[in-house]
Structure 1
Amino acid sequence: MRDKTRKDEINWASLKNINVYIDQNKILSDININLRYGENILILGPNGSGKSTFLKLLNRSIYPINSNNSSFKMFNKENINIWDLRKKIGFLFKEMEQRVNNGVKLYDVISSGFSGVFNSRYSNLLSEREKIKIENLTNEWELSNIISNEFQSLSDGQKRRALIARALVYEPNILVLDEPFCNLDIKSNFILNLNLNKLINQSVNVVYVTHNLESILPKTNRVILIKEGKILNDGSPNELINTKILSDLFNISIKVIEQEGYWRMLPLSS
């Protein structure tokens, strides 16, 4: 069972004066932010603004430049074991789908959440508890009828649900998702949105990137706007998801409409 004793306003990540360079190019600049339990966070910004890099800081696949006045703590630790981190946070990144070789079964992809390796040999070493967990996840994410299919033969929606199931094998309190709704059709988008809201109701905190306002989760309670590697603004959806702010963020004239917790974006004539 997930830990429901956490109280809101407790930081699980604290970033102070963080700068990130990739191939000598500055991708993130002067990042100062705390991420807290009880928050479901949307990260919004144009392509190339540094959103995915910010998420990769959280999964420790990218490291910031160290300086005397910078610090980066996760769960109150500056150094955290990667496998300990995986048990606390589940991750989904766009490139994961391409990392799965042809012939790998869906079951092996989900079971790799325990081993880190997409290989049936490791799936055969699972404990009974781990096998039961995978069975429960495949039922919850509507994957049980295709569990023996090859991963690369699946639809985009099925792949996405499979990789989120993989991210949940340790029942983490936090789920970090890089563009989970990308390339999904209407039905797959709806199913994923519904399932993520169920997780939020089970006290899982979701941090996610999306470019589609219609995919914003209704229970999102914090929005971080990133542009050109810097955090431009940080506040509630009601404060930041509006016509003026998003037109400025994306350098385009748009009209933003909210209805019953869902958002739409319409073009404005110049």
Structure 2
Amino acid sequence: MGNAQSPPANPRYALASRAFSQKELEDHKSLFVSLAAQSQSDGKYIFPSVFKRYFGLHGPLGDRMFDLLSQQRKDQRLSFQDLVIAKGTYEKGTKDEIEEFIYQLVDVSGDGILGELNVRSDLESVLIAMFETIFSTKDAELGPSSHKDVVDIFLNAATFSKHVDGCAEKSMSIEDFRNWCTLLPSVKKFLGSLLIPPDAGRPGSQVPCLVHLESVDSNMVLLRKEYAWHIGGALSLQELEEWKLLYHSAYNGLSFNTFLGSIS
């Protein structure tokens, strides 16, 4: 009787593992063991529900991320090698490789087409999932329906220049997507850090605390939390802690000197 042979080493895993230090690989292994145990898979796989719960990903965005990490096998199983290979690209890849991964991520339907009409279902579902993650629906000032106008603004910033055979509408090319991310750095920052647990301070999730006097009606303030989050995408973490309203013409008057005195 011959000895049972181990499965051949995956060259993609061997290449991806070189991008990490020994400590990082040990941390990945420790995380995998923990999530595989929660999946009750005899330590072999992570199942989608456990993965999405740990990383705080829900709906189509969570489904698509798991699909990409498991190399689109559709078997609902994520192995340790899958995790390292995906992280090797998503976290350690070149700028182009990371953007290509995120480009595939927002194609939540997985059909390879981000068309001008189809994008309403793909990008819109991604943006809604983002806002529902970043802005808790427990916030008394916000609710799922309050994001629609902001989602529409973000979608209207997209361009579509790629011709697809057999498709009447133009599609969003990878260059279109990169230009869109340049306009919306907060979106790219969030989508590029989904494998960082939310409680670990996931980049792209920070929303400045908007502070104003109690006498100021919040409905009179033009700067909404969604807009503050969008602006914050181009700022450092230290600049996102607290933004204080220094001047409002409805409360401080229309004097230019008063305005200068308030901000100086």
> Shorter chain as normaliser: what TM range?
under 0.3
TM-score, scaled relative to structure 2: 0.25
Give the TM-score taking structure 1 as reference length. 0.25
Task: Name the structure with the higher strand share.
Answer: 1
The higher-RCO structure (CA 8 Å, 6+ apart) is 1
Looking at secondary structure, tell me which structure has more helix per residue. Answer: 2
Q: Which has the larger radius of gyration?
A: 2
